[in-house]
Amino acid sequence: MTQILKTTLLMGGLTGLFMFVGYLLGGQSGMLMALGFASLTNIGMYWFSDSLVLKMQGAQPLNDQYPEVKRIVTDLAQRENMPMPALYYVDTPIPNAFATGRSPRHAAVAVTSGIMEILDERELRAVLAHELGHVKNRDMLVSTIAACLAGAISYIAQFAFMFGGGDRENGGNPIAAIAAALLAPFAAMIIQMAISRSREFLADQHSAELLHDGDALAGALMKLDSWKQQVPPIQPTPNEQALSPLMFANMFSAQGLASLFSTHPSTEARVARLKQLR
């Protein structure tokens, strides 16, 4: 199953869950009200995402810092026939990179000082190609739609708890309504995170196919994973936790059952997928 098809199916599942839960808990009117509120919230976040994300990360314009980043991104953007994104850096020892922006014409790519210290140029090129893959695939738009639907489901569930839940006018089952109110937000979050992981696989594939060098990206992933294993567990700040879905690698990811709520596939899974692309 291709990652595009998988994303499509997951988005369809999230939409279906929203429609079912919305009707069960609030009827048609409750469903539409929740969708409208969530849509307005997330569309606003989508429209101003680039400036908000950069400010939250404390990102600074690249200017003369790390000239190799500008050289690499300029070359990759020309090869992709894409507009040149704005370039930034974040002064933090945590190695990472991210892309943001609502479209290729309003995109920004940032690297951290930490990632510049541990990657060689070949690996850095692979990571930057991955981030441009997010821009080209319009992953901010996909993530916003997913967040909108997941948010609407949560709003409906909260509404049900506050006002009793269930579509009583149509003879709704109050027990089913309570169960849906409890379980639906978790189900929506799991699907939303699965969509995020699918888009990470797709950006990995974009990098490997553009450069014909999946080993470089695999090497970068393993270096970041090794760095994470060698330092004490990092407690993310609220900003870092909120923006972790945008990062090249989640340096705060959980293991085991908690991985269902991870925004990124495991390093092992990503490296294995890159090996399959050879």
* Contact call for residues 107 and 176 (beta carbons, < 8 A): no
* Contact call for residues 109 and 85 (beta carbons, < 8 A): yes
* Contact call for residues 192 and 14 (beta carbons, < 8 A): yes
Q: Where are the alpha helices (DSSP H) in the chain?
A: 3-47, 49-57, 67-80, 113-118, 121-136, 139-163, 174-211, 214-230, 238-243, 267-276
The one catalytic residue in 123, 131, 200, 240 is: 131
* Contact call for residues 107 and 135 (beta carbons, < 8 A): yes
Is residue 80 annotated as a catalytic residue, yes or no?
no
Q: How far is the CA of 53 from the CAs of 57, 105, 131, 272, in angstroms?
A: 6, 17, 15, 31
**Calpha distance 30→139 (Å, rounded):** 29
CB under 8 Å to 9, separation ≥6 — which residues? none
SS3 at position 106: helix
SS3 at position 48: coil
* Contact call for residues 49 and 24 (beta carbons, < 8 A): no
**Calpha distance 148→37 (Å, rounded):** 9
Catalytic residues: 131
